[in-house]
A and B are shown apart, each in its own frame.
Chain A
């Protein structure tokens, strides 16, 4: 199939597991509830501190024995998400052949949580746990596992640009289709709670007590989370499309963004330009919205410069935690659900949970309230921001046209 470089790129199917639950239906309904009630307290992550986190509650599938080398929690979460879209993936494999299907996955943790167990075992008993394999720890292991599990024979690699990893995986997937290297790509991300990231972000004084409080004057840091989201990405029109990708680097500091928001602004403007849209075309923006003092300030400043203050925006991190390497894919999934569940042209929007106390130093953006809907005058387009540690930014624009399911989009 001919795929010119501006060809359509459809996110055909979504699998997702987060603290909100498993599968699009469950996640969507709890997302609209907009309450951080699914977060739990964990005392085992950081010494002498209880962290409220967005842990995945659902029992995870067992990794098949033939893939025992990949048996770790991170891959089990990826498997939980992949299993939800096994049918469309099998269809793509039949249509295109295993060699023409690729895998691009984002992660910042890979199987570090299980490696911690192995090292703990080594320090106490001598020798790593017998079930430990390096394939669980190395970043490439996640994509390799997904490819081996699905029987995919095309390229398989993991991207790891901290908190923008999952968004980048979708950007790369679209490019692989346009390059003619693949006819379908399984793209997404998985990240799991572990001692390393919990203690690392704690050492950076980036983690708050309780639930993160994005855009509030009282915001005091992020809430950690875990989860996985995977898409089947295919060429062609219809359904939910990936319309735009914007990218930039901060060139500022390893663990802090440029306070002016310049990098975030370039990323958002780049995504609009790539999608061929003006700012007015965007109906909703899912903020990176980590709830750290610096992120929210620079992001709100950048959003105001690009969009003004009227655009409905929300951070969904109070509901699922900051899932780090998976956040870009999970928040793209939330945007996908907003578009997929559109009713008669109305978009139900994920509410912004916070204490309602605005920060005088931040522009007062239009934070989505519970029950709020958007009614775009043209075909809906939404945006999601991901800003990674190390200064790596990626913004995606998703949208939906009349097309195949156009009956639901009457205006």
Chain B
């Protein structure tokens, strides 16, 4: 894909964790080998670099076509799936799509489609079997695995305001179980139906950030730690966007409440 973006080793300074823990911090360290992101109007690495320099709230509506998907699979794809898989395809080279482990994080998942179906249930209408099977929280993972013919382990999760950080943590659990693997991490969300939007503090946005993460390889090494009890901050754009700004900067440390990433150099 044209907007696949490898990361070379950064030359930033070495950060030392303050944590005293007898488990080697190495286990909590991982390298970001590549990244790719998509949001309405932000469809190239250049656009994202410009956004990182001068961020603005992300658009809430719009989704890509995801033409790399076979038409039969694409037809059933929700906006969230198209966004998530577009970032996924942009992040991993063709030959590796079938091999990576995957972690898909989304706070809201397919909730808008679920609500449509709940309305049908309340009105005693019949559900479409295909719609139902494409609305599970792991629909993006399932479709990715089918389209990429990927039989590796996969997980889908949600962690309310901490979803992005918890997804990163889940990636580390995969590297713990399979240290030699490369994990494709996709964080994606879409705008929430208006009736719920007012119940959620986070900014509305439709976007995906995909990161290819491994213990070894060519890319900045980040140590992840939990420390303190600070509440998770509400940022003007999604945490994933804040993380990308950190990744493309010279900053040594990035924190989201009690979750901390430190450049290992």
Residues of A whose CB lies within 8 Å of any CB of B are 1-3, 5, 47, 99, 108, 112, 115-116, 119-120, 122-123, 128, 133-135, 137-141, 143-144, 153-162, 168, 171-172, 175-176, 178-181, 195-196, 199-205, 245, 247-255, 262-263, 266, 274, 388-392
Contact partners of B226 in chain A: CB under 8 A: 99, 154-155, 181
19 A-B interface contacts by CB (under 8 A): A99-B229, A134-B196, A139-B158, A140-B158, A140-B162, A153-B258, A155-B159, A156-B166, A158-B159, A172-B155, A172-B173, A175-B173, A175-B176, A179-B27, A179-B173, A180-B28, A196-B132, A203-B128, A390-B138
Tell me, rounded to whole Å, the shortest Cβ–Cβ distance linking A293 to chain B: 16
- Residue numbers in B under 8 Å from A250 (CB-CB): 145, 151
Residues in A neighbouring B134, C-beta threshold 8 A = 254
Asked if B187 CB lies within 8 Å of chain A CBs, one says no
Instruction: Point out the residues of chain B lying under 8 angstroms from A135, CB to CB.
Output: 160
Q: How far is the CA of A229 from the CA of B162 in the complex (A)?
A: 24
Please determine whether A181 and B169 come into contact, CB atoms closer than 8 angstroms: yes
Shortest beta-carbon distance from A155 to chain B in Å = 6
B23 at the interface (CB under 8 A from A): yes
When distances are taken between beta carbons in the complex, the residues of chain A under 8 Å from B27 are 5, 178-180
| Min CB–CB distance A222 → chain B (angstroms) | 14
Partner of A180, one of B22, B163, B179: B22
Output the nearest chain A residue to B142 by Cβ-Cβ distance.
A390
Considering only residues 117-152 of chain B, those with a C-beta below 8 Å from chain A are 117-124, 126-130, 132-139, 141-143, 145-146, 148-152
Tell whether, in the assembled complex, residue B169 and residue A176 are in contact, meaning their CB atoms are under 8 Å apart.
Answer: yes
In-complex Cβ contact of A388 among B127, B132, B138, B196 (8 A): B138
B114 on interface, CB distance cutoff 8 Å: yes
Cα–Cα distance between A248 and B155 once the two chains are bound (Å): 10
Chain A residue at minimum C-beta to C-beta distance from B128:
A203
- Chain B nearest CB: distance from A5 CB in Å? 6
Pair B114/A108 contact, Cβ less than 8 Å: no
Q: Is the CB of B159 within 8 A of A140?
A: yes
Pairwise interchain contact B136-A160, C-beta atoms closer than 8 A: yes
Kindly supply a per-residue 1/0 record for chain B positions 161-188, scoring 1 wherever the CB is within 8 Å of any chain A CB and 0 otherwise. 0110110011011101101000000000
Residues of A within 8 A of B157 (CB): 139-140, 157-160
Q: Which of A171, A180, A248 contacts B21 (CB 8 A)?
A: A180
Q: A161-B156, A249-B153 are in contact. Are A390 and B173 (CB under 8 A)?
A: no
B161's nearest neighbour on chain A, judged by CB, is A140
Instruction: Contact check, B176 vs A157: say whether CB atoms are below 8 A apart.
Output: no
A390 near B141: Cβ-Cβ < 8 Å: yes
Q: Are A176 and B173 in contact (CB under 8 A)?
A: yes
Is B251 interfacial (CB 8 A cutoff)? no
Contact of A172 among B24, B28, B138, B170 (CB under 8 A): B170
Binding site for A on B (CB under 8 A): 21-25, 27-28, 102, 107-109, 111, 114-115, 117-124, 126-130, 132-139, 141-143, 145-146, 148-160, 162-163, 165-166, 169-170, 172-174, 176-177, 179, 195-196, 199-200, 226-229, 258-259
Question: From residue A66, how far is it (CB to closest CB) to chain B in Å?
Answer: 17
Distance A281 CA – B34 CA, assembled complex (angstroms): 42
Contacts of B109 in A (CB 8 A): 139, 160
Q: Are B133 and A120 in contact (CB under 8 A)?
A: no
Closest to B153 in A: A247
A153: chain B residues at CB < 8 Å are 229, 258
Give the one of A3, A134, A245 with max B CB within 10 A. Answer: A134
Residues in A neighbouring B129, C-beta threshold 8 A: 200, 203-205, 255
Q: Which of A196, A202, A205, A245 contacts B114 (CB 8 A)?
A: A196
Given A123-B119, A203-B132, A391-B145, 18 more contacts at CB 8 Å? A3-B23, A99-B226, A123-B123, A134-B200, A135-B160, A140-B107, A157-B157, A161-B137, A171-B173, A175-B172, A176-B173, A181-B226, A195-B118, A248-B152, A249-B145, A249-B153, A255-B133, A392-B142
Bound-state Cα–Cα, A318 to B39, Å:
46
Instruction: Name the distance in Å between A74's Cβ and chain B's nearest Cβ.
Output: 14
* Min CB–CB distance A275 → chain B (angstroms): 12
Contact in complex: A179, B23 (CB < 8 Å): yes
The answer on a CB contact under 8 Å between A390 and B111 is no
Of all chain B residues, the one with the shortest Cβ separation from A254 is: B133
Q: How far is the CB of B248 from chain A (nearest CB, A)?
A: 26
C-alpha gap A251/B23 in the complex (Å): 36
CB A229 to nearest CB in B, in angstroms, measures 19
Once the chains bind, are A159 and B156 in contact (CB under 8 Å)? yes
Cross-chain contact A391 with B146 (CB below 8 angstroms): yes
Distance in angstroms between the alpha carbons of A44 and B128 in the assembled complex: 19
Question: Is B160 a contact of A162 with CB atoms below 8 Å?
Answer: no
A249–B160 touching, CB < 8 Å? no
User: How distant is B159 from chain A, measured CB to nearest CB, in Å?
Assistant: 3
| Complex CA distance for A116 and B115, rounded to whole angstroms | 9
Q: Establish whether residues A249 and B121, one from each chain, have CB atoms under 8 Å apart when the complex forms.
A: no
Contact B146 A168 (CB under 8 A): no
B104 to chain A, nearest CB (A): 9
A212 to B: closest C-beta gap in Å:
19
**Which residues of A lie under 8 Å from residue B153 when comparing CB positions?**
247-249
Please give me the residue from chain B that is nearest to A198 by CB atom. Answer: B121
Task: Assess the A2–B142 pair: CB atoms within 8 A.
Answer: no
Distance from A22 Cβ to chain B, minimum over Cβ atoms (Å): 27
Least CB distance from B234 to A in Å reads: 15
Q: Please indicate which of the listed interface residues A120, A138, A178 has the most CB atoms of chain B within 10 Å of its own CB.
A: A138
A116–B121 contact, CB under 8 A? yes
Contacting pair B145 A251 (CB below 8 A): yes
CA A140 to CA B146, docked complex, whole Å: 26
With A119-B119, A133-B199, A247-B153 as contacts: A203 and B160 at CB distance below 8 Å: no
A80–B81 Cα distance when bound, in Å, is: 35
Measured CA separation A158–B27 after assembly (Å): 22
Q: Are B172 and A390 in contact (CB under 8 A)?
A: no
Q: Which chain A residues lie closer than 8 Å to B126 at the CB level?
A: 199, 203
CB pair B154 A249 closer than 8 Å:
yes
- Asked if B121 and A196 make an inter-chain contact with CB atoms under 8 angstroms apart, the answer reads yes
Q: A108-B137, A179-B23, A250-B151 are in contact. Are A204 and B122 (CB under 8 A)?
A: no
